[in-house]
Structure 1
């Protein structure tokens, strides 16, 4: 069964590239959201296995979105993404986020590995 993924990023160009890359790697991208409100609606309706959440969502924070989702029963695995390095953020690690991936290192393989490490996937 394909991994179902929701991309949360306000950069349309990156979201398009990520969607195409992940689809080529047999990740089923079930939606793209540019803000927290849309992400929460899509999470409820599309039921993704994993959400890729940009740390910077315009005027919003991906950290805050992770915090909101963390209390939801049956929530997907949450992966924070950013153009910047992990050590550029003093807020990390973030409770509720399974991992942090630089956008330049995003791949279907990386997502599957994180799901396995989180106990949500099969090698």
Structure 2
């Protein structure tokens, strides 16, 4: 079906801290410039909010893991400053808890980075429609499982358990990254996922959970009185 000449392309802001990825996505979107127009880019949350306030774009393509703030935490701010803006979450992680949380917070769709070049345009077309939500078909069962299992016991992956254990022992992100051979950003994202899964608001919540789950040896259990800082 051809596009009506009277319809302007949907304005977009790309929010991701990887310039190369943004360039690739922008090039892909420009192949459909009659439908979508990337008017701005941002590499962190503060920059994104500043530009969203001014432009009020039709769509924000939002990385869930940013250097200064979680993409999840940006959803409320985006909706506050530009209530009609549609939010399509982009992430390298496909955890059911994060996907369900993002949708419940007001995101209009979720696409894994591994599928971005294959499904991005379809996703943008879907979220552009009034009430439509986009989830790749390969993740439909994952999202459904996340919704159905919301009241069941939280289960951490092996890697999440490792990150939680080191966090409870007081290791910093750089130390954990070196020990686990991961990037600092990946460690931060794992900590976000863990906090979301167990509803941790401060570090002491993480430590208590690690103790309860037997992730710390008896001699490693520490005084919780100095663990009241937030998990962010």
Q: CA RMSD in A?
A: 2.1
**Unpaired segments ≥5 residues, structure 1:** none
**Unpaired segments ≥5 residues, structure 2:** 1-7, 133-232
Q: TM-score normalized by structure 2?
A: 0.47
The alpha carbon displacement at 1:77 in A equals 0.8
Which contiguous aligned blocks of 4+ residues in structure 1 show a shift greater than 4 angstroms?
none
Q: TM-score normalized by structure 1?
A: 0.83
The one of 116, 131, 140 equivalent to 1:118 is 131
Q: Distance in 1 between matches of 2:37 and 2:9?
A: 6
Hey, what does 1:9 align to over in structure 2? 16
Q: Which has the higher contact order (CA 8 A, sep 6+)?
A: 1
* Number of equivalent positions: 119
* 1:79 partnered with 2:88: yes
Q: Which structure has the highest strand share of the two?
A: 1
Q: Distance in 1 between matches of 2:38 and 2:12?
A: 5
Change over 3 Å in CA distance of 1:89–1:96 after alignment to 2: closer
Q: Which structure has the highest helix share of the two?
A: 2
Deviations 1:65-84 (A, max 9, x none): 11222333544111111122
Q: Distance in 2 between matches of 1:30 and 1:12?
A: 15
Hey, what does 2:107 align to over in structure 1? 97
